[in-house]
Structure 1
Amino acid sequence: MLKLEDPNLAMLVQNLSELKELDLDGVNISAPGNEWCQVLSSSVPNRRVLSMSSCSLSGPFEFSLLKLQSLSIIHLYNNPFNAPVPEFFANFINLTSLHLSSCGLNGTFPENIFKIPTLQTLYLSNNELLQGALPDFIGDLTVLSIVDLSVCNFRGSIPSSMANLTQLVYLDMSSNNFTGPIPSFSRAKNLTQMYLFRNHLTGKIDSLNWKDFLNLVNLELSYNSLEGNIPVSLFSLPSLQILQLSSNHFSGQLNEFSNVSSCQLEILDLSSNYLEGPIPKSIFKLRGIRDLLLSSNKFNGSLQRFNSQEIFPFLIFHTIAC
């Protein structure tokens, strides 16, 4: 890491009033909020990009930052702010990307930030003391493509309006306290990653239109309280490589599924549920499987009905008949 001692931050930017982009990622500026906020707001008011991640900046955020009305990108991740996200961030009406991961943020995340119509990417991960809820109007963010709220303390239900996020590609809301059912995300046809594990989600997933998620690569719903049958359409998604549904309340039998030859599954984890009946022969025809985890269920039947060439490709195979 480069340590900036002399000149200091004020000297560095004092003659850069027309600077549009400032990238000081990794420079050890080590300044409190009342210092770095004042310097930036008075020295480079026309900036569009503020990127100062891993700079040892501390909080709180000063209201003077609001002078930077041209800001479209704010990347301040991995700084020890230990402060709330200020309400005035919602006044950056041109904001397209907000990245505040791993900043020790606390308090309640301002709902009005979800009203910024230009917002495309939002990263708030690894702020365990940051609370909040997702408002219904999040579905109005027509250009939102990336949402990462993992390892925070968001609560409440996932709004059904998120089905309207047609540009959504990446969704990670794992390790929070979300409750209720998973909405359909029916119009997010470009979604490639969905991480909702370690929440308190309930309800069934077999009524969701999984067949429409042709680009979905990763689906992780483990450690919730989801129930009902596991829809067979999940196993036929052409791009899906990782499917993790462990530690839920799924029940019933797994049906045989088609399109095995085109299936891309590499990791399939259905362990710690209430699945029963015989294991589908289709599973042993998934040639790309590396990890197959079926333990702690109620499967029955004999593996003698499978030949060794069907079972051999699996490096991890655990099943308990009970």
Structure 2
Amino acid sequence: MHWFKLNKLEELDISYNDFEGLLPSSFVNMTSLRTLKLYYNDFIGNFASNLGSLTSLEYFGFEGNQFEVPISFTPFANHSNLKFVYGKGNKVVMDSQFHIQHWIPKFQLQVISLSSTTETNSIPFPNFLFYQYNITRLDFNNCKLEGEFPNWLLENNTQLEEISVRNCSFNGNFELPSLPLLNIMRIDVSDNNITGQMLGSNISSIFPNLEFLNMSINDIQGSIPHEFSQMHFLYILDLSDNNLSGEIPKNISGDVLTILTLSNNKLHGPVFPTLSTLKNLEQLYLDRNSLSGSIDSFSTPSLVALDLSNNHLVGNLPSVMGNFSWLRVLSLSNNNLGGSISTRFVELNALQYLDISGNNFYGLLPSFVNSSVEFIHMSNNRFTGLSKSTFKNSSLMILDLSYNRITSQIQDMILDLKDSSLNILILKGNNFSGHVPQHVCQLKELFILDLSSNNLSGLLPSCLGKMSFEDENIGALGLDGALSINAHELMCDPNYNGYCMKTEVFPNAKEKVNFTTKKTSYTYKGNILGYMSGIDLSNNKLNGNIPFEFGNLTKIRALNLSYNDLIGEIPTSLSNLEQIESLDLSFNKLSGEIPPQLNRLHFLAIFSVAHNNLTGETPERKGQFITFDESSYEDNPFLCGLPLSKSCNPYIQPHAISPYSSHTDGCNCSFVDMFVFWISFGVSCTSAFLVTTTILYINPYWRRRWFYNIELVCTNCYYFIEDNFADVFKS
């Protein structure tokens, strides 16, 4: 690049290209550069040696590369004009010059942004910042800086507008500066190890213009100060995941508060009408506390998201909630709420996410016909039935009605859902009856189906084998963005390099479901849900054969057909389930041999065909099958081979191999149980004697023939002995 020889050039912008490798050494010749922008290329390495001579540099932007940024900042020791440093997305590292303690820089920074997107080791906080007094924005997110929180930054930089040190390793207290910071708008010290009491009573006078405060995921104690009510510009407050106690102040903030997050603390007392004065509140997260009382008096129609889950709330759902026309997210799970669900409640046109699981709601499920709701969680309640056309023409993607008391016909529900884009259907633990209808196969985007523990009967639909059950369908859920909106933007000042703080609705929402696989109930949450796909039809009354077409479910990870009345042989096609991790066919009436091809299933972790009528030899112990013990095959009387104690060769005394066996060591398990043998022998002899005696007693003819034959046998024996042993007796 010959243009690097332009030693009079003052501004160079080569951003958003595909440059890669080390920074060219010819940069050292461009000594007049005042602005250098390298944004979003693929530069690597340490730029220290190439930038030391650019002493005229005022603005240096290198976000989105793979540089190793020396934490000492000594490459800029001779720079007197440097004001703006934007290096987000690179890696801050310890360098050999860090031992130079308290070097005094010639420059005075206004902006320094070095937040990292890669995991870094703990490094000391850069000492040169102690001599900076003009900083307006400081961003060290994810840099794992060790030591106590640098309270002196707030003391020294009175023009500070933003400080963001999220996910560092700071400990100690966060203390208010002695003088007001009139310009500060945004403070983010979340995800550290900050301890001590909540901010003091003078917070409103120290930060009078604060708009955003995030102190979540720390170890801060104490109560929430009433002085937040005097912060008239504060519209985002996040104090979640701390050890805050006491009640929520009646006036927690000024009129502009839009997002309030107090999740996972130790707050108690009533929620409402404490917060009923927050007329502009759009997002309220109070989950995982010990809050009590009812929600009857709550009336904030501007709400977009409301999460009151995991508290001690009681009462019914207020009908006034039908006025929340903007509500998109409602989570009330794991409380003591009850009553029936009003039809007016489900007329919320904007609602996308509804979770009322773990309560005491009863009666019929309300109708969601033509509803916009995409995620419904109503498990662990006392619902008993469905309304007419409950889910017809709905927008559902996830439906979880597990562990209720619903007694409806399964055909009616599936018929309502057949044209939906449903991804996950969980109906386990109810009283659904009837046959599994063919309409279930019209749910083309389904990848988790759980109908276990119901009263279903009839045959397994062979068309299930024509469905993909591919977990790639998780992309349709949009778990990282479907519930997110850009509700607000902060600090979108062009001088801040276009930086905006965006907030999301329900930011901690990770769509989750409980699904039993590997004989254990797991909670699959967020992106992890994308790795799961399965069918669970266990604990029903299904009969008939396992369809050969089930072998086409090559992407499925779990198949559970246990505790049914299935008959016939295990299809050899199941050896095509190349992704399967859990296969449970136990407690049925299956017969025939176990297909030896099943040992091709290299990801199989749980396998059970116990309690059937299988015969023949167990599959060869190789691959995953070497890990399965006797419990996988038990109670199949005519099954033989390892790891069972019964050998397929009756002349070979076997030794049971059970790498994970829970049986008592030293068990002398022989081919024939001798105790059982002698009992059987005695019973047989006694039975034969009694039958013979009875016949002779009843029938005189057979009695005469019996004694005649005995006399004949005795006579013949007498003459046989006399003829053959006479000479012996004479001698």
Q: Shorter-chain-normalised TM-score: which range? A: 0.7 to 0.9
Q: How far has the Cα of 1:111 moved from its partner? A: 2.3
The answer to whether the 8 A contact 1:276-1:297 is kept is: yes
**Deviation, structure 1 residue 122:** 0.6
Partners of 1:308 and 1:248 in 2: how far apart? 25
Corresponding residue for 2:170?
Answer: 81
What SS is found at the alignment partner of 2:377? strand
Residue pair 1:265, 1:286 contacting (<8 A) in 2 also: no
Q: Could you say which residue in structure 2 is the equivalent of 1:58? A: 146
Structure 2 partner of 1:224: 311
Q: Distance in 1 between matches of 2:248 and 2:186?
A: 22
Q: Measure, in 1, the Cα distance between the counterparts of 2:157 and 2:394.
A: 61
Corresponding residue to 2:377 among 290, 293, 318: 293
CA distance in structure 2 between the aligned counterparts of 1:149 and 1:25, rounded to whole angstroms: 22
CA deviation after TM superposition for structure 1 residue 91, in Å? 4.7
2:353 is aligned to 267
Name the structure 1 match of 2:340.
253
Q: Which residue of 1 aligns with 2:188?
A: 99
SS in 2 for 1:41: helix
Q: Deviations over 1:243-266 (max 9, x none)?
A: 110100112232221782x61112
Cα gap change, 1:85 to 1:310, in 2 (>3 Å)? same
- CA shift, 1:63, in A, is 5.4
Provide the residue aligned with 1:32 in structure 2.
124
For residue 296 of structure 2, the aligned residue among 199, 206, 209 is 206
> How does the TM-score come out when normalised to structure 1?
0.83
CA contact (8 A) 2:371 2:394 kept: no
Partner of residue 203 from structure 2, selected from 99, 114, 131: 114
Correspondent of 1:4 among 53, 62, 69: 69
Aligned equivalent of 1:168, options 252, 257, 260: 257
Q: Which amino acid in structure 1 is aligned with residue 215 of structure 2?
A: L
8 A contact 1:9–1:29 mirrored in 2: no
Are 2:110 and 1:20 equivalent residues in the alignment?
Answer: yes
Q: Write the letter of the residue equivalent to 2:124.
A: P
Instruction: Answer yes or no: is the 8 Å Cα contact 1:247–1:273 preserved in 2.
Output: yes
Partner of 2:158: 69
Shift of 1:147: 0.9
C-alpha spacing 1:50/1:187, structure 2 compared with 1 (3 Å): same
- Give, in angstroms, the shift of residue 309 of structure 1: 5.9
* Structure 2 equivalent of residue 243 of structure 1: 330
Measure the CA separation in 2 of the matches of 1:72 and 1:313: 44
Q: Which amino acid aligns with 1:193?
A: Q
Structure exhibiting the larger radius of gyration computed from Cα positions: 2
What secondary structure does 1:160 align onto? coil
SS across alignment from 1:4: strand
Tell me the residue number matched to 1:233.
320
CA contact (8 A) 1:226 1:249 kept: yes
2:267·2:290 contact (CA, 8 Å) conserved in 1?
Answer: yes
Task: Give, as a single letter, the amino acid of the residue that structure 2 aligns with 1:32.
Answer: P
Counterpart contact for 2:210–2:231, Cα < 8 Å: yes
- 1:318 matched to which residue of 2? 401
Which of 139, 143, 150 is 2:240 aligned to?
150
Distance 1:15 1:192, change over 3 A: same
Compared with structure 1, are the counterparts of its residues 265 and 94 closer, same or farther at alpha carbon in structure 2 (3 Å cutoff)? same
Identity rate of aligned residues, in percent?
A: 28
CA contact (8 A) 1:271 1:295 kept: yes
CA contact (8 A) 1:77 1:103 kept: yes
- Mapped contact 2:240–2:261 kept (Cα < 8 A): yes
Contact persistence 2:221–2:242 (CA under 8 A): yes
Cα RMSD (Å) of the superposition? 2.9
What is the rounded CA distance, in whole Å, between the counterparts of 2:136 and 2:390 in structure 1?
61
2:206 is aligned with 1:123: no
For 2:299 and 2:262, how far apart are their aligned partners in 1?
20
CA distance in 1, matches of 2:76, 2:272: 48
Query: How far off its partner does 1:240 sit?
Result: 1.2
Matches of 1:110 and 1:141, distance apart in 2: 13
User: What's the counterpart of residue 446 of structure 2?
Assistant: none
**Which 5+ residue runs of structure 2 have no aligned equivalent?**
1-65, 83-104, 407-731
Contact 2:369–2:391 under 8 Å retained in 1:
no
**What is the alpha-carbon distance in structure 2 between the residues aligned to residue 253 and residue 275 of structure 1?**
6
Query: Is residue 133–residue 156 contact of structure 1 (8 Å, CA) maintained in 2?
Result: yes
State the alpha-carbon separation in 1 of the partners of residues 343 and 334 from structure 2. 22
Per the normalisation by structure 2, the TM-score is 0.39
SS in 2 for 1:142: coil
Distance 2:338 2:345 in 1: 21
Q: Distance in 1 between matches of 2:248 and 2:212?
A: 18
Distance in 1 of aligned mates of 2:257 and 2:167: 25
User: Counterparts of 2:150 and 2:261 in 1: how far apart (Å)?
Assistant: 29
Contact 1:145 1:168 in 2 (8 A): yes
Judge conservation of contact 2:202–2:227 (CA < 8 Å) in 1: no
Q: Distance in 1 between matches of 2:134 and 2:121?
A: 21
1:41-99 CA-partner distances (Å, limit 9, x unpaired):
32x21222222222332222355431222222111112111222124377535432110
Q: Deviation string for 1:223-244 (max 9, x for gaps)?
A: 0001111112324422211111
Equivalent position of 2:710 in the other structure: none
Query: How far, CA to CA, are the matches of 2:346 and 2:310 in structure 1?
Result: 28
Alignment of 1:274-289 (within 5 A): 274-281=360-367, 284-285=368-369, 287-289=371-373
**1:288 aligned partner, one-letter code:** S
Compute the displacement of 1:306 (Å). 1.1
Deviation per residue, 1:200-245 (Å, 9 max, x gap) = 11111111213xx23x221111100011111123244222111110
> Counterpart in 2 of 1:48?
136
CA contact (8 A) 1:89 1:113 kept: no
SS in 1 for 2:291: strand
Question: Which runs of 5 or more structure 1 residues have no equivalent in the other structure?
Answer: none
Query: Residues 90 and 186 (structure 1 numbering): CA distance in 2 closer, same or farther, change over 3 Å?
Result: farther
2:370–2:392 Cα contact (<8 Å) kept: no
Q: Secondary structure at the match of 2:146?
A: coil
Aligned partner of 2:268 in structure 1 is 179
SS in 1 for 2:193: coil
In the other structure, the counterpart of 2:623 is: none
Instruction: Choose the corresponding residue for 2:388, options 292, 296, 306.
Output: 306
SS of the equivalent of 1:278 reads strand
For residue 171 of structure 1, give the secondary structure of its aligned residue in structure 2. Answer: strand
